[in-house]
Chain A
C-alpha cells in the first residue's frame, strides 16, 4: 500500500524483543500471585499451605503482583512498543541507539535491584510503598533506576524526533510517532512527583540519612505520579486502537486530527488530577479536592472522542467487509483474529472500567468506594484488561513480526483471550459488589474476623475468576514461547498501521506544535498543584520514623 516503508534492522528488532522478553517474564511471575490472592478470598489459602518457605506472606506475594504486573510488565512493554512506533513511524533509525540501550539496561538493573529485597521479604510495602512503612533501600533505588531508565529511552526518542524534524520541516509528524512522543512527555511530567518522593525523601530516609518524613506530603508526591501512571499505561493502548486496530480490522482511521486533539488533551489533563486519589486524606483541603475532581472529569471529554473515533473506524472496517444495517458491521469484524479479538474485548471491558472510574472520581461518592475491594475490581478492568489484554493482542502480531515465525496455535490464542474476558468479568464483578458491601482492598479476607457470611458467594466468584485468569495468562505465555519455535513465515509481517480517511497533511498545524501545549501543561500544573505543594512543604513535619510491620 504505502511505499518507502522503513524496514527495521535485525538489531533493532532484537532490541525491541528484549523489552518484550522482560515484560512477559514479569507478567508470568507476577500473575502467579494475583490468583493466589483471589483464591485466598475464596478460602483456599495457598500461602499458608505451600508457598510459605519461599514467599513468606500474602503481602510479599501482593507486592510482587503489583510491582511486576503494574509497573514492570507495563513499563517494559511500553518502552519496547514505543521504540517500534518511533522508528517505524518516522521511517528512520534511532538517532542515538546507544542512548536507548543505556536506558534499557538501566531499567533491567533497576528491576533486579528492586526484586531481590521483595523476594527476600525485605520490601513487602506494596507497589504504592506509602511511608512510614520502610522497605530495604535497594527497593527504592531499584524503582528509581527503572523510572530513570525509561526517561533515558524517552530522551532517545526526542533526539530522534528532533533530527527527523530538521529533515522534514513541513511534514505532519506521523501519527504513531506523535502519539509515542505524547506518551513519553506525559510520563516525564508525571514521574516528577515520584522522583521527588524517592530522591528527596525515601532513599535518604531508608539509608538513615534522614530521621523522619511527613507521610501526607509523600502521599501528595506519590499521587502526582500515581494517576497519570494510569495514562502512561493507557495511551499506548489507545494508540493501538486508533492507529493499528482499524487496519487490522480492514478499515481506516476515521479522523487523524481528532485523534491528535484527544492526545493533546490527555497530555494536558492527565497530571493535574492526583487529589482525586486523596479525597479522604486529612491533610488536603476539600476545596482543592473539588478542583481536582472537576479536572478529572474533564478527561471524560477526550475519552469520549476516543470512543467515537475508534468505534467509527471499526464501523468503517465492518462495512468494507460487507456489514449492512445499523449494527450488522459488528458481526463482520474479524473476531477470529486473536489480535483483533483481544483489543475488541479489552475495549468492551474498558468501557465498564471507565464508568467505574467516573464513580470513583465523583468527589464525595468516593467515600463509598475508597480503599474497598471495588478499587482493585475497577483497575482490573482498566489496566489489567483495557491495557493488558490490548498489549497481549499487540504481541499476537508483533511476536511474528519480530521473529519472522508464525504464531503458534492461533486457536489457543483465541481461547486465551476469551478466558481472560470471562475470568475478568467474573472476578471484577464480584470485587465491585463485595467492595460496595464494605470489603476492604489489600486484605486477606479469608482471615478477617468481620466478614459477614453473606459475602461468601461473592468471594467464591473472586476465586473462580482468579483461577480462570491464571489459566489464561499461562496460555498466553505458552503461545508466546511456542511462537519462538514455529516455522519461518514465507512473507514478513507488515506492521498494520492504519491510513487515515483524510490525508494527515490536512490536519491543522496547531495540532503539530509543541510549545503552546507544553506551556499549557506547566501553567495548569502550577494552578492545580502549586498552592498546595507550597503549603504542604512549608508546613511539613518530618516526624515519622520508619516501621517494618510485615
Chain B
C-alpha cells in the first residue's frame, strides 16, 4: 500500500507551515479553554422552561422585578416583549451582584447590558440567565439586540447603580 504514489507530496516550506498551523491551533484551543474556565465570564446555560403564553402561571415571572436574596445580592426577573422590557428600570447599590433572568412573551429578543459581559438571546419558552457585579456607580443601558419588529430600535431599559 505504502508505495510512492500513495503518499502525499509535501513541500518542505509547506511542511513547516503545516506544523506552525497545528501549533497555533493548539495554542488557540488552550486559550479558549482557559478563557472559558477562568475569569468568571460565562455563557448562558439552560435554567428553566416557561410557557410564553402564560407567564403569570410561571411563578417567578408572575411579578417581574428585582428581588433581594441576600445583602447586595439580587435576582432581576425581566420580561421582554414588543417593544419594551418589564421592568424598564432597576436600581441597585454599588458592589451588588445581580443575576438576570430574562424571558420573552412573544417573539425573540436580545438582552445586552452595555459595557458588561452580559449578552443573551431571549427566546420564548426559555429563560436566559447571566450574573454581573456592579463595581462602579452609574447607568447601564440594557438594549434589545435582536430584530423584534418595527419599533425594535426603541426597546431598551437601564440599570441604575447608586453609591
Residues of A within 8 A of B (CB): 57, 59, 126, 130, 132-133, 214-216, 219, 254-255, 257-258, 261, 278-286, 289-290, 293-294, 297-298, 300-301, 304-305, 308-309, 312, 358, 362-368, 370-372, 438, 440-445, 447-450, 502, 506-511, 539, 541, 543-545, 547, 549-550
Asked if residues A284 and B46 are in contact (CB atoms below 8 Å), the reply is yes
- Given A362-B35, A440-B143, A508-B6, output 4 extra A-B contacts at Cβ < 8 Å: A255-B9, A442-B146, A443-B145, A549-B82
User: CA separation between A547 and B18, bound complex, in Å?
Assistant: 51
Give the complex CA separation of A435 and B157 in angstroms: 19
Q: State A367–B156 Cα separation when bound (angstroms).
A: 18
Q: What's the least CB distance linking B155 to chain A, in Å?
A: 9
Cα–Cα, bound, A530→B152 (Å) = 35
Residues B32 and A293 in contact, CB atoms below 8 Å apart: yes
Instruction: State whether A363 and B36 are in contact (beta carbons under 8 Å apart), knowing that A258-B8, A300-B28 are contacts in the complex.
Output: yes
Instruction: Flag whether B43 is at the interface (Cβ < 8 A).
Output: yes
* Top 4 closest pairs, chain A to chain B, by CB: A549-B149, A371-B145, A282-B128, A282-B126
State whether B124 touches A301 (Cβ < 8 A).
Answer: no
Known: A215-B108, A300-B25, A450-B156. A294 touches B32 (CB 8 A): yes
Verify A543–B43 contact, CB threshold 8 A. no
Interface size band for B: 35 or more
**Given A133-B107, A440-B143, A549-B106, are A216 and B126 also a contact pair (CB < 8 Å)?**
yes
Q: Name B residues whose Cβ lies closer than 8 Å to a Cβ of A.
A: 5-11, 13-14, 17-18, 21-22, 24-25, 28-29, 31-33, 35-36, 41-47, 49, 51-53, 82, 106-108, 110, 112, 114-115, 117-129, 141, 143-150, 152-154, 156
Give complex CA distance A284, B47 in Å: 10
* Contact call A280/B143, Cβ cutoff below 8 A: no
Q: Assess whether A371 is in contact with B119, with CB atoms less than 8 Å apart.
A: yes
Beta-carbon contact of B123 and A255 below 8 Å: no
Q: Which of A371, A438, A510, A543 contacts B146 (CB 8 A)?
A: A371
B154 contacts across to A, CB distance below 8 A: 447-449
Kindly provide the distance from the CB of A61 to the nearest chain B CB, expressed in whole angstroms.
Answer: 13
Please indicate the chain B residues that have their CB under 8 angstroms from the CB of A362 in the complex. Answer: 31-32, 35
Q: Are A258 and B10 in contact, CB atoms less than 8 angstroms apart?
A: yes
Instruction: Using A285-B45, A286-B45 as known contacts, say yes or no to A132 and B25 having CB atoms under 8 A apart.
Output: no
Please determine whether B9 and A441 come into contact, CB atoms closer than 8 angstroms.
no
- A300-B24, A304-B17, A447-B154 in contact; A282/B52 too (CB < 8 A)? no
Partner of A257, one of B8, B13, B110, B122: B8
Select which of B11, B43, B122 is within 8 A of A286 by beta carbon.
B43
Nearest CB on A from B135, distance (A): 18
Q: Which residues of B contact A510 (CB under 8 A)?
A: 6
Interface pair A367/B117, CB less than 8 Å apart: yes
Q: Which residues of B contact A367 (CB under 8 A)?
A: 41, 43, 117-119
